[in-house]
Amino acid sequence: MSKNELDKALELVDAEAKKIGISRREAFKLAGLGSAAYLMGGTSESQAATVAQASEAKGKILIIGGGLAGMSTAARLATTLTSPDITVIEPLSKSVSYQAGTTLVAGGIYEKSDILYNTKDFLPAGVKLIKDSAVEFNPDANKVVLGSGETLSYDFLVIAAGITLDFGKIKGLEEVGDAYTAGDSSKILKAFGDSGITSIYNTDTAEATWIQMQKFIQKAKNGEKVKGIFTHPSTAIKCGGAPKKIMNLTHSRLVEAGARDNAELRYYVNGSNMFGVKEYHDAILKQFEVRNLKWNYKHNLTAVDIKNKTAFFDKRWDEKGPYDEDLEEYSTITKHQEVEVPFDFMHITPPMKAPDVIAKSAVGSGKGWVPVNKETLQHVKYKNIFSLGDIAAVPMGKTGGSVRKQYKVLVDNLISAMEGKELTAKYGGYTVCPLITDIGKVMLAEFDWTKKPTPSFPLDPTEERYIWWLLKVYMLKPMTQYGMLSGKA
């Protein structure tokens, strides 16, 4: 984003903030941006507000993963420790990205180049980067083995390796196997082909989504009756609102083309609600009803017939079972039915998991995720290991908004551990999801482990607003680049 673009965006934010009677600073705070507002506003308060007290603590720190979580952590450690000894293990040359922007790429609002950054450009001064992957973990000996065969020792380990897209779990996509947000996408693109199947969860396939969406819209514009379906799997996923965002953008583009009446859009979700927070669930249902978006609960995608453009779902429901005389109550039996759904356009949110090399190691867990204390982010077994981001076993925490809170807590606690002090910093579960509801509208869903809205300012958090669109499209990306990746915001 150029300086002129940023200045224009700030003017738009100022104008919209004025309409609802708040300042730019209050708008940023409301959007969960905090000190990033100062960074972009050019005031000296940013430094005073974000730089922690320097620590004389010493130790060899190894960070697995050079994405947003890993690099933000490295940056904050590098500026907080007086003599940092930090190494980041990352195989990709473009590991750092504004992942929240993949939805905007898929909707034709961003270009792919807008959200991918060179890893080396965001490597903090004094931090060593090794272009490789960790393949073995020996936490009892404080050692990690790399793909090259090299063994590295550490005093403290930070695991920020992200998440794996488990496309191979879906019958018909076995050849794709495990995939990732960045990196080689050739297997996914080959499998999807020109079938109308898409996914925003990889940067290349997000770009392909926009191509397929335009073809879908053109069919509707030509008078064909078409069907678009959108899925949400049975596993935890990064950004639980994303499947609804791309559905809403598809709706917006159809309306823009004057072809909405010729398209049925339907959401198939494994769960029994739209959102884990009731107030946002209720608001989304109303939005769906107004936009004539359909939905089916308790439908999990299990297979796809690419050639015949048919999706298969496991539909489930509960029925009353036999009476238990000891418990004096009826048991519940879960029933299943396979449902076939034809489609012209399909967005798949794949099942997700921790990378097997970590999940199945000594630092993993039975469920795969790295087991940490959800408040301190310290490993439950190994006290010199910490984890954050998508791979950490933290409830409701797989978003960039969560990472922005987590990495500061992790750094504070890691330094406390290095100094032999009690870990006092606590992550409270705060998450922010700028839920795109239309082109030009965003509902800013803020919440924490209480599963209640936690708005940063006294405005109705369930209301769609243009100002949140401006923040989502124009402000969050530079906040990520110049705020989080500097270790400040």
Per-domain boundaries in the chain: 3-13+38-162+354-430+476-486, 166-352
Instruction: Determine the CATH number of domain 166-352.
Output: 3.50.50.100
Intrachain domains 3-13+38-162+354-430+476-486 and 166-352 with the same fold? yes
Among the listed residues 170, 226, 301, 433, the single catalytic one is: 433
Antiparallel, parallel or unpaired: β 164-166 and 352-353 = antiparallel
Q: How far apart are CA 487 and CA 325, in angstroms?
A: 61
Q: For residue 8, what pLDDT is reported?
A: 66
Residue 433 known to be catalytic: yes
Q: Quick one: residue 193, left, alpha or beta (phi over 0 = left, psi -120 to 50 = alpha)?
A: left
Place of tokens 């050639």: 307
239 is an active site residue: yes
pLDDT at residue number 38: 39
Q: What CATH number belongs to 3-13+38-162+354-430+476-486?
A: 3.50.50.60
> Per-residue DSSP letters for 365-433?
-TTSSB-B-TTT-BBSS-TTEEE-GGGB--TT--SHHHHHHHHHHHHHHHHHHHTT----------EEE
What integer pLDDT is reported at residue 98 of this predicted model?
A: 87
Given 27, 144, 161, 239, the catalytic residue: 239
At a CB cut-off of 8 Å and minimum separation 6, what does 150 contact? 132
- CA dist 290 and 277 (Å) reads 20
Q: For residues 489 and 479, give the distance between their C-alpha atoms in angstroms, rounded to a whole number.
A: 7
Can you give the pLDDT at residue 391? 97
pLDDT at residue 33, as a whole number: 54
User: Taken in order 404, 408, 410, 411, is the CA torsion positive or negative?
Assistant: positive
Question: Do 461 and 444 touch, CB atoms closer than 8 A?
Answer: yes
- Output the six-digit token pair for 479: 């906040």
| pLDDT tens series, the chain, 489 aa | 454 655 666 677 677 667 767 777 776 665 555 544 434 444 433 343 344 468 999 999 999 999 999 999 999 999 999 999 999 999 999 998 888 899 999 999 999 999 988 899 999 999 999 999 999 999 999 999 999 999 999 999 999 999 999 999 999 999 999 999 988 899 999 999 999 999 999 999 999 999 999 999 999 999 999 999 999 999 999 999 999 999 999 999 999 999 999 999 999 999 999 999 999 999 999 999 999 999 999 999 999 999 999 999 999 999 999 988 888 889 899 999 999 999 999 999 999 999 999 999 999 999 999 999 999 999 999 999 999 999 999 988 798 889 999 999 999 999 999 999 999 999 999 988 999 999 999 999 989 999 999 887 778 999 999 988 988 888 888 888 878 888 887
How far is residue 116 from each of residues 6, 73, 240, 293, measured CA to CA in Å? Answer: 18, 19, 22, 32
Encoded tokens for 348? 């798949």
Taking the C-alpha atoms of residue 372 and residue 374, their distance in angstroms, rounded to an integer, is: 6
Q: What is the pLDDT of residue 37?
A: 45
